[in-house]
Structure 1
């Protein structure tokens, strides 16, 4: 297992701080209600809808892809190893997130990060459709 050095930790922190305000200003207005067949199913009751991709001005990343992970009530995305660093926010519903070393609960407006090579599992614990808006940071 590779440990994160101080420079990488600072870069990820700055990236998260840079991307998070984008969610606060534009994300909620753009989030829409999705039909049950929109996007690609990745697990029972969990679909991924591509929102858009743009170039990044952050030196470590060439682009940022925005997706919505749409969870039906009670649906779980299985534990997955992250291919890229990500910044996630909850735009609908409530979730329990499990990582190797911790578990936490999130509600609408909460933001968290995922690191490349680490695992993550999400469960929609609400009685409504839940949505994660995810900024996937694609390396340069």
Structure 2
């Protein structure tokens, strides 16, 4: 395992502390029901709905954009290179997430992160509409 510098540890802690309230609120709020035409289709059965944008108090980021990625049952978002750092929470459904070096399963309430320049793909493995609520961290 690589060691982490003190500066990196502090930056990670500040970022996590700043973003966590967004997801505490998002996870406790009832997931909005989206229609089959809401948002923009990015893959068959997968749509992105813009929720909102706000300024960031985190020095490395100028703003945070919140989006919901809505997956129909069994829908798959193919491997994509991330344009920004992101913090994701599952607000409904169950998913298999594949990254370059690992694969894992998530359910409602679980969180994970995506790093800029890394790949990610997701499949809704539940029989219900699944939603990823994503905080996209826009660099300063």
User: Do the structures match in fold with TM over 0.5?
Assistant: yes
Are positions 1:24 and 2:24 aligned together? yes
Trace 1:1-140 onto structure 2 (pairs within 5 A).
6=5, 7-8=7-8, 10-29=10-29, 31-140=31-140
Task: Provide Cα deviations, 1:95-118, integer angstroms capped at 9, x if missing partner.
Answer: 000001110000011010000000
The CA distance in 2 between the partners of 1:122 and 1:93, in whole Å, is: 12
Aligned-residue offset at 1:133: 0.1
Is the 1:20–1:111 Cα contact (8 Å) retained in structure 2?
A: no
SS of residue paired to 1:24: helix
Paired residues of 2:85 and 2:115 also in contact (CA < 8 A): yes
Number of residue equivalences: 138
Provide, for residues 41-86 of structure 1, a one-character-per-residue CA deviation record: whole Å limited to 9, x for no partner: 0000000000000000000000000000000000010100000000
Unaligned 5+ residue runs, structure 1? none
Question: What is the CA–CA distance in structure 1 between the aligned matches of 2:72 and 2:26, rounded to whole Å?
Answer: 24
When normalised by structure 2's length, the TM-score is 0.90
Looking at structure 2, the residues matched to 128 and 121 of structure 1 have their Cα atoms a distance apart, in angstroms, of 19
- Give ranges in structure 2 of 5+ residues lacking alignment: none
State which drifts further: 8-17 or 72-81.
8-17
Residues 58 and 96 (structure 1), Cα distance of their counterparts in 2 relative to 1, 3 Å cut: same
Aligned alpha-carbon RMSD (Å): 2.0
